[in-house]
């Protein structure tokens, strides 16, 4: 049974990367572009620390990760951003209690992006397309 899906691992890696990119991208668009309209991000203004800067990183690297261009570095930067988000925004409300401090999502994002930084983009990516041309 463990080898049942093994032939599809590279494709699942690409799908995982695309979905992770789209999920973080929505945070960036909400903070920077105001879409979708989210009450928590309604008052983010240009230069506001740290929300606006996080939004710029989420938007920029979220797009790159979604299309699979510079995937490893994009995922690595996003992993660091999510670690920063947890320790700055959530840990002060209880370091060892992510469920209580609403830090589950940034922790999960952090390790998902760290995995993508190590695993790469998969076959459905701009990175793979560029490699195949050389």
Residues 6+ apart with CB under 8 A from 15: 122, 124
Question: How many other CB atoms sit within 10 Å of the CB of residue 30?
Answer: 20
pLDDT, mean of residues 64-90: 97
The residue written with tokens 């032939």 in the block is 7
Whole-model pTM: value is 0.93
Dump pLDDT digits (tens) for 14-32: 999 999 999 999 999 999 9
Q: Tell whether omega for the bond before 7 is within 30 degrees of 0, i.e. cis.
A: no
pLDDT mean across residues, the chain: 95
Whether the Cβ atoms of residue 71 and residue 116 lie closer than 8 Å to each other: yes
């Amino acid at each position: 049974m463990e080898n049942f899906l093994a032939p599809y691992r590279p494709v699942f890696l690409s799908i995982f990367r695309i979905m992770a990119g789209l999920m973080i991208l929505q945070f960036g668009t909400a903070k920077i572009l105001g879409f979708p309209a989210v009450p928590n991000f309604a008052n983010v203004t240009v230069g506001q620390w740290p929300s606006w800067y996080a939004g710029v990183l989420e938007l920029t690297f979220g797009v790159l990760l979604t299309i699979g261009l510079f995937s490893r570095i994009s995922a690595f930067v996003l992993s660091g951003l999510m670690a920063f988000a947890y320790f700055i925004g959530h840990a002060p409300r209880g370091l060892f209690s992510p469920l209580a401090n609403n830090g589950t999502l940034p922790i999960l994002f952090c390790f998902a992006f760290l995995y993508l930084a190590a695993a790469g983009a998969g076959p459905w990516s701009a990175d793979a397309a560029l490699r195949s041309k050389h």
